[in-house]
A and B are shown apart, each in its own frame.
Chain A
Amino acid sequence: MCLQKINMRRILRIFLLYSQHALEYKWRSLVWFLVTLSESAMYLLFWRGAILDNNSVWNLPGAVSYYLLMIIAGCLLHVHIEEEVAFEDIQLGWLSRYLTKPFSYYWIKFCQELPWRIIQGTFGVIILCTALAFYKFPLAKPAQYPYIALIILFGYLLSFTYKMIVGLSAFWVTDFRGVNNLETMISLIFAGYILPLSLLPGGLREVALAGPIAHMIYYPVIAFQGNMSVLGLWKVIGAQILWILFFLWLYRLVWRSGLRRFTAVGQ
């Protein structure tokens, strides 16, 4: 399984091979980035009007940094591997290719997905740096960077494992689109794309802040905004580790039972 002997050199070589593939489709990556950019830009523009109309629930520099960082988080941390796992590998039967190879399916998919995230995240970083040149908004102090790096790393691992489990649900479901749609709807609200989770109404806020999706996308953004104390950062890291362990255990369970159901010719 994914915790088998991990040969880092092999993984690096495979990662570089998949990076070549992702680079061939750089325009596709740019389009994905523009999707994330335009959605965040739309909400930011809305908030600009709301804040200027003296709604004191938020301030403009905070809104700007939030949505800019959300663009990067959406590109870098929001994994999209579940559709390939469900539609191509399981439903079309391409999983056979991976099962007959002496390499963990989890790590192959990891290497496949990461280059796309890096390329799109790079576009986001360029936008952030450009914005910083023209506009001042709050960001975390350099002393907090090591914690933030950990939060981003764990956020990615959590996002990836979670999405792999979502994709593997196709072992049991004949029409994956329903699961996919449901997951997308939930992420839209609970990742904080529309507005910060702290601005959600009462009960919904508590559920969202405690959930796994917030720990993938939302908390890395809040951490980078510099809105958390060191203790707060440690709490987030601790929660992420717990979620990762839970999802790794769940992945193992789902993978083993799913494989037993899998018919090599696909559904």
Chain B
Amino acid sequence: MFRYLRIYKKLLGLNFANVTAYRANFVNSIIASVGWGFISLYSIYLLTNNINTAYGWSRQEILLFNGLYGMIIGVFHMLISVNMRRFSRVIHLGDLDLILTKPIDSQFALSFWLVDFTIILRILMAGCYTLWFINILGIAVTFVQMLSVITIAFFSLVLLYSLWYSTLSVLIWDSSLSNLVLLLYSFESFARFPREVAQQLINVLFFILLPITLIINTPAHILMGKFTWVEIIRLLVLSTFFFYLSRRIWRFALRYYASASS
């Protein structure tokens, strides 16, 4: 455990040095991050421009939901999704060889190797946006509530990560499907809306959408004081189960890894 923490600490240092190695690229990345942060929030602002309510949620509540989404998913993009984009490249070019011959868990190496520090700005933007709407809605947030949101958000991220990793393990069999990452981004977008939006589809696409809709829904319910213990337990159980499943799927997939030509 401590060994992996030491390795991760080293990786954080390397990633920071990497992102600041070229000033022009650094500035470029900052601008892109801020731009996407803005678009992510503004697009839903535009979408809800002409309505007062949807599925019983007011416009302000939907925008608050979206701000919370921006923060939680921002952490995911900073730490995890940047590695998922690398995933297909690593397999396609046979660079997985270099990871598999090291005495380090390959799932850890593939999942946590890169960190995109520029996303911190997006998280901060989403944080300010969320605080703004908490203020407008007059929600009084206690310390315990805040702690609960952070704890549950952690499990949400574990769940999301497990779904992504299990899905991308398919790339072992067909590395040309590198655009699977984009499909996962668009499925993840369902989490930017209250759960009721996807309710009708959940019955049809149970395994895909149900876990995703819990990711932001549960922390948002805690923040707004509307949570139930059933949904919290559901999230905890699903995140543990899918994480275990992701490891099993990965180990099974590695038996079929064919590397790349010398």
Direct contact of A and B (CB under 8 A): yes
Across the interface, B182 reaches (CB within 8 A) one of A35, A41, A48, A177, namely A35
Closest-by-CB residue of B relative to A57 is B50
Contact B24 A199 (CB under 8 A): no
What's the nearest-Cβ distance from chain B to residue A190, in Å?
A: 11
Contact B51 A53 (CB under 8 A): yes
Interface of B is mostly: helix
A245 at the interface (CB under 8 A from B): no
Total contacting residues, chain A, CB less than 8 A: 35
What's the nearest-Cβ distance from chain B to residue A49, in Å?
A: 4
Residues of chain A within 8 A of B200, CB atoms compared? 45, 48
Instruction: Encode B30-68 as 1/0 by CB contact (under 8 A) with A.
Output: 011001100100110011111111111000000000000
Are A38 and B53 CB-contacts (below 8 A) given A43-B47, A181-B35?
no
Residues of chain A in range 152-184 having any CB-CB distance to chain B below 8 Å: 174-175, 177-178, 181-182
A140 at the interface (CB under 8 A from B): no
Closest-by-CB residue of A relative to B199 is A45
Residues of chain B within 8 A of A200, CB atoms compared? 46, 49
Instruction: Encode B176-219 as 1/0 by CB contact (under 8 A) with A.
Output: 11111011011101100100111011000000000000000000
B174 at the interface (CB under 8 A from A): yes
Bound form: Cα–Cα A34–B193 in Å: 19
> Total contacts A to B, CB within 8 angstroms?
104
Contact B177 A38 (CB under 8 A): no
What's the nearest-Cβ distance from chain A to residue B167, in Å?
A: 11
Contact B183 A55 (CB under 8 A): no
Contact B54 A194 (CB under 8 A): no
Contact B177 A27 (CB under 8 A): yes
Interface of A is mostly: helix
Contact A50 B190 (CB under 8 A): no
Residues of chain B within 8 A of A185, CB atoms compared? 35-36, 39
Residues of chain A in range 18-66 having any CB-CB distance to chain B below 8 Å: 25, 27-28, 31-32, 34-35, 38-39, 41-43, 45-46, 48-50, 53, 55, 57-58
Residues of chain B within 8 A of A32, CB atoms compared? 179, 182
Contact A45 B36 (CB under 8 A): no
Contact B176 A25 (CB under 8 A): yes
Closest-by-CB residue of A relative to B179 is A31
B25 at the interface (CB under 8 A from A): yes
B240 at the interface (CB under 8 A from A): no
B18 at the interface (CB under 8 A from A): no
Across the interface, A49 reaches (CB within 8 A) one of B24, B187, B196, namely B196
A46, A178, A182, most chain B CB atoms within 10 A? A46
Contact A46 B193 (CB under 8 A): yes
Contact B28 A45 (CB under 8 A): no
Across the interface, B176 reaches (CB within 8 A) one of A28, A42, A49, namely A28
Across the interface, A178 reaches (CB within 8 A) one of B32, B47, B193, namely B32
Are A45 and B198 CB-contacts (below 8 A) given A31-B180, A200-B46?
yes
Bound form: Cα–Cα A113–B154 in Å: 42
A195 at the interface (CB under 8 A from B): yes
Residues of chain B within 8 A of A178, CB atoms compared? 28, 31-32
Contact A46 B197 (CB under 8 A): yes
Bound form: Cα–Cα A231–B106 in Å: 62
What's the nearest-Cβ distance from chain A to residue B186, in Å?
A: 4
Closest-by-CB residue of B relative to A25 is B176
Q: 20 interchain pairs (CB within 8 A)?
A: A27-B176, A28-B176, A28-B178, A31-B179, A31-B180, A32-B179, A32-B182, A35-B183, A45-B193, A45-B200, A45-B201, A49-B196, A53-B52, A55-B52, A175-B25, A181-B32, A181-B36, A189-B39, A189-B46, A201-B49
Which B residues lie at the A interface, using CB under 8 A?
24-25, 28-29, 31-32, 35-36, 39, 42-43, 46-56, 174, 176-180, 182-183, 185-187, 189-190, 193, 196-198, 200-201
Starting from the known contacts A34-B186, A38-B189, 19 additional A-B residue pairs (CB-CB under 8 Å) come to A28-B176, A28-B177, A28-B178, A34-B183, A35-B179, A35-B185, A35-B186, A38-B183, A41-B201, A42-B186, A42-B193, A45-B201, A50-B51, A53-B51, A55-B52, A174-B24, A178-B32, A181-B35, A185-B35
CB-based closest 3 A-B pairs: A49-B55, A50-B54, A49-B54
